[in-house]
Structure 1
Amino acid sequence: MRFSADQLARMLVESGARSGPLHAQLSQGLRELIELGELPIGATLPAERALASALSVSRTTVVTAYQSLSQEGRLERRQGSGTRVRAAVQEVERETVSSHVLAGDHAAAQFLNGPLATIDFATAALPCLPVVADTAAAIGREEYLQLGQQHHGYHPRGLPALRERLARWYTEDGLPTTAEQILVTSGAQQAVELVTQGCLQAGDSVVVEEPTYRGALEAFALAGCRVRSVASDAHGMDVAALARLSAPRLVYAQSTLQNPAGTVLAPDRARRLVKLAEDEHVVVVDDTALAGTAFEPARSRPLATYGDSERILTIGSLSKLFWGGLRLGWIRGASRTISRLAQMKGITDLGTSLVSQQIGLHLLDQVSLARSSRRSELVEGLADLTALLAESLPSWTWVPPRGGASLWVRLPGADTTQFAQVALRFGVAILPGAVFSASGGLTEHTRLPYAVPPAVLRAGVHRLARAWAAYLGDARSSVPVVSLTT
């Protein structure tokens, strides 16, 4: 397995900030990735010069780090064959867990590896709304006893009462739905993975917009699909460009609110996408996980409201609106399709937590309150972030989002894979735009969260401004990590 310089640079960003000389920081980061198995035995590391460019350090820094790890017996370097991860003496011929998907950068890295830096701008997770704790605490012992009396407690399709409630929720919003059309999942990510496993085979063609949700890209890659992309602008996916492609097996869209750009699919494009699904027999996955965070929810409609085709699968979630810790999502689709996906879910997951589902059942009565609360905090956070950027980083640009928890920002002339390394030295972690791209493009972009405390937001932007000045100047100089109050 061969790692590119950009790929390894992203892995180092996501594994966290470090202190000390740059060569020591690099050797420590590589050492941890090797120990965790993210860099598997036999993996070929990038050439010194290429990695130095991706990390915005001198070639000497990389040479010194490689030499240090070679002396420890973790790397082997051979003239003409490059640098490889070396098996320790006690290692067997093949690792116990050796799946290829364990190598490389991935969306869960920042959650698996702990805090990324003093200030973490790499994640855009939303804080838990107080109504979640209030609702969970208000459920009494008798209700939990009744829940526990439901035989074995396994419901692969989801708690019947919750499925009925979700169906009624859609119906009340103008999209007639029955409980048989709902499959409850452990979050929207599991929903994406179930659809991927159930609708796609290795080699199938998938089209996404550019940029798009990173977790979906990883699910499609894991399934061995051929992923193509079409551009996205302030009005959402360019459906006209999509229509010019040879018909794919599946299109992954985000009509109600796009992650990470915060755009909403225009009604005329939504209608054309639904018609394309019907005419070309294309499966369309409409991920509406962010819908509850829209600044103007009345203007945000899922694709199924434009034509309830059997080929449209709608993904929903309570994670963004209420709290990610609930791990509660769902798929809405044709009854037969939902039944088949439920069979697949039952093979690997006998059911999502009934306790979370019972809490979610009550939270659905609090949706209006939650949307109002979430909208207020997000609008305020966005205003704070854009004011700080205008003051400290006036050359950075963006299209105003219509919801969501992050701002999709363009850094003119930058390679954000390189800039992310410089920013990390100033104690703030960001993600390169390439991780949101099917083709590894979008190198001038990054995603900045604004659902963070004002003091942290202010400190983070000030650090980014200093990092930007260093990047435009001598990005290869050693820079100490600054304090939170800087």
Structure 2
Amino acid sequence: MKFDADQLSVMLSETGVRDGPLHKRVSGGLRILIERGELPARSILPSERSLAIALCVSRTTVVTAYQELQEEGRIERRRGSGTRVRPPAFDDRETVSALALAGSDTSSSFLDGPLATLDLSTAALPGLPIVAEVAAGLTGADYAALVAQHHGYHPRGILPLRQRLAHWYTEAGIPTSEDEILITGGAQQALELITNGCLQPGDDVVVERPTYRGALEVFARSGCRLCEVPCDRSGVDVSALDALASARVPRLCYLQSAVHNPLGTVLSDDRRLRLRQLLRRHPSLIVVDDTSLAGTLFEEEAPPPGFAAPEAPDRVIVIGSMSKLFWGGLRLGWIRASTRVISRLARMKGRLDFGTSLVSQQIGLRLLEYVPEARATRRVQLTRGLTDLTGLLGDLLPDWTWDDPRGGPSLWVRLPHGDATHLAPMALRFGVAILPGAVFSADSTTKDYLRLPYALPRDVLTAGVQRLAAAWHAYSRHEAADIDLHSVTT
């Protein structure tokens, strides 16, 4: 397994090592990744020069770090074959497959804790107070009723919640029955179920550029071949999708219809209609990720959830979740699809966990009565945060640009030059963690972007952007020095 410099740079940033001399930070981060198995035995590490460029440090810093790890017996360096992770002497077999261990993923910031004093790398929203109020309102009688449901295993989800969600879709113009709803442990589990149930290694999967980072990781683990189509302020470019589907006949297309992560855009009515027309011409599955419940939209009137295609009911699958609107800690999501598809996915889910927590489902059922209030609260919270963030960026980083989002918890920002993957380790030295845009595309072509959250207190945003501005100026000087050095050596 070979790791390129940019990939390893992101992995190192997520170890949280930020104390001591630079070479100690590099060696310390690599040591952690090797000990965890994230860099499996015999993995090939990048050259000193390429890693130095990605980390915005001198080549000497990386050479010293590599030498330290070589002396410890953690890596081996041979002329002509590069630098590799040394297998342990007692047993060179991995307990868990290397594919499962290697790399950086969405869960890293939650697994390893905060990466820096100020964390601008995650756009997870804080829970709303109404969640605690509803949870506290469950009585002993409510719990007794749950326990009285014999074994308590409901792979499809409890009937009242499925009926309520089906009613919500029907009211929105998509006739739905409770048998067309499957409750899951969050949207991520929903996506895993769909991927495992509908895809095989080697299948072509179309995604937007950029798109949700977690989806890219799920599809990559499944061994699929990812194809990208552009996404703009109106959503996915349907003409480009039509052309690609005609040439490649993908097995599945993964699209976002409500508030796009990370763009903050919304699929237009015209493109929503054209996607339905596209289904008539192509046999691909369409997975519509609508995890926000449109609850983070700045406008009062929400767009319809996903879309349905009566002429191809088995080929449209919609994912929903309560994480963005209410609280991620509920771990409550769902899949809306045809009865036939839901039946098969429910059987798969039953083999995994026998069903999502009944307590979370009961809380979720009651929270659905508070959707209008929750949307209003999120709207105030997010528009205020967006105003704060854009004001700070305009004052401190006036060369950075963005399109105003229509919703969501984050801003998709473009750098005037450079690579956000290389800026990230520099930002960590100034005490602020950021997430580079490369992780939101299959081919890392969005390197000149980064995603910045704004659902944070103003004092946190202020300090974060101030540190980020200092890091940007240091990075720009470093980049200029590298360019000058390269022009001399060539």
TM bucket (normalised to shorter chain) is: over 0.9
Amino acid at match of 2:258: T
SS at match of 2:83: strand
Amino acid at match of 2:82: G
CA distance in 2, matches of 1:216, 1:269: 22
- In the TM superposition, what is the alpha-carbon distance from 1:88 to its structure 2 partner? 3.1
Identity of aligned residues (%): 59
Partner of 2:80: 80
Does the Cα contact within 8 Å between 1:204 and 1:225 map onto a contact in 2?
Answer: yes
Partner of 2:295: 292
SS at match of 1:408: strand
The reply to whether residue 392 of structure 1 matches residue 396 of structure 2 is yes
CA distance in 2, matches of 1:333, 1:296: 27
- In the TM superposition, what is the alpha-carbon distance from 1:282 to its structure 2 partner? 1.4
Among residues 306, 310, 335, which one is paired with 1:303 in the alignment? Answer: 306
Deviations 1:180-233 (A, max 9, x none): 000000000011111111111111111111000011111111111111001111
Partner of 1:250: 252
SS at match of 1:263: coil
Q: Which runs of 5+ in 1 are unaligned?
A: 478-486
Partner of 2:484: none
Does the Cα contact within 8 Å between 1:274 and 1:303 map onto a contact in 2?
Answer: no
Change (3 A) 1:440 1:274: same
Change (3 A) 1:76 1:93: same
CA distance in 2, matches of 1:390, 1:261: 19
CA distance in 2, matches of 1:203, 1:297: 42
SS at match of 1:401: coil
Does the Cα contact within 8 Å between 2:154 and 2:355 map onto a contact in 1?
Answer: yes
CA distance in 2, matches of 1:336, 1:61: 58
Deviations 1:209-266 (A, max 9, x none): 1000011111111111111001111111111111111231111010111101100111
- In the TM superposition, what is the alpha-carbon distance from 1:140 to its structure 2 partner? 0.3
CA distance in 1, matches of 2:129, 2:480: 45
- In the TM superposition, what is the alpha-carbon distance from 1:105 to its structure 2 partner? 1.2
Partner of 1:481: none
Partner of 1:175: 174
SS at match of 1:227: strand
CA distance in 2, matches of 1:226, 1:37: 26
Moved over 3 A (4+): 305-309
The reply to whether residue 426 of structure 1 matches residue 430 of structure 2 is yes
Amino acid at match of 1:381: G
Does the Cα contact within 8 Å between 1:56 and 1:476 map onto a contact in 2?
Answer: no
CA distance in 2, matches of 1:357, 1:308: 32
Change (3 A) 1:402 1:307: farther
Change (3 A) 1:211 1:376: same
Among residues 395, 408, 412, which one is paired with 1:408 in the alignment? Answer: 412
CA distance in 2, matches of 1:341, 1:130: 33
CA distance in 2, matches of 1:17, 1:71: 20
Amino acid at match of 1:356: S
Within 5 Å, which residues of 2 pair with 1:151-162?
Answer: 151-162=150-161
Change (3 A) 1:332 1:49: same
SS at match of 1:474: helix
Within 5 Å, which residues of 2 pair with 1:24-43?
Answer: 24-43=24-43
Does the Cα contact within 8 Å between 1:184 and 1:331 map onto a contact in 2?
Answer: yes
Amino acid at match of 1:4: D
Deviations 1:395-450 (A, max 9, x none): 00001011110000000112111111111110111111110001111010000000
Partner of 1:191: 190
**Alignment TM-score, normalising by the size of structure 1:** 0.96
- In the TM superposition, what is the alpha-carbon distance from 1:281 to its structure 2 partner? 1.6
CA distance in 1, matches of 2:166, 2:37: 43
CA distance in 2, matches of 1:59, 1:15: 21
Within 5 Å, which residues of 2 pair with 1:216-255?
Answer: 216-245=215-244, 246=247, 247-255=249-257
- In the TM superposition, what is the alpha-carbon distance from 1:72 to its structure 2 partner? 1.0
- In the TM superposition, what is the alpha-carbon distance from 1:304 to its structure 2 partner? 1.7
CA distance in 2, matches of 1:308, 1:416: 44
Amino acid at match of 2:398: P
CA distance in 2, matches of 1:2, 1:476: 29
CA distance in 1, matches of 2:22, 2:434: 19
CA distance in 2, matches of 1:456, 1:111: 19
RMSD: 1.4
Does the Cα contact within 8 Å between 1:196 and 1:223 map onto a contact in 2?
Answer: yes
Partner of 1:145: 144
- In the TM superposition, what is the alpha-carbon distance from 1:173 to its structure 2 partner? 2.2
Within 5 Å, which residues of 2 pair with 1:109-124?
Answer: 109-124=108-123
Does the Cα contact within 8 Å between 1:18 and 1:25 map onto a contact in 2?
Answer: yes
Partner of 2:336: 332
- In the TM superposition, what is the alpha-carbon distance from 1:299 to its structure 2 partner? 4.6
Partner of 2:377: 373
**Alignment TM-score, normalising by the size of structure 2:** 0.95
Greater CA drift, 168-177 or 250-259: 168-177
SS at match of 2:170: helix
Does the Cα contact within 8 Å between 1:270 and 1:306 map onto a contact in 2?
Answer: no
Amino acid at match of 2:295: G
Deviations 1:133-186 (A, max 9, x none): 000000100011001111111111011111111111212222221100000000
Deviations 1:96-126 (A, max 9, x none): 1124131011111111111111111111000
Does the Cα contact within 8 Å between 1:5 and 1:46 map onto a contact in 2?
Answer: yes
Change (3 A) 1:317 1:302: same
SS at match of 1:248: coil
Q: Which runs of 5+ in 2 are unaligned?
A: 482-490
Does the Cα contact within 8 Å between 1:57 and 1:476 map onto a contact in 2?
Answer: no
Partner of 1:280: 282
Amino acid at match of 2:366: H
Partner of 2:65: 65
Greater CA drift, 389-398 or 92-101: 92-101
SS at match of 1:189: helix
Partner of 2:266: 264
CA distance in 1, matches of 2:7, 2:162: 41
Change (3 A) 1:150 1:299: closer
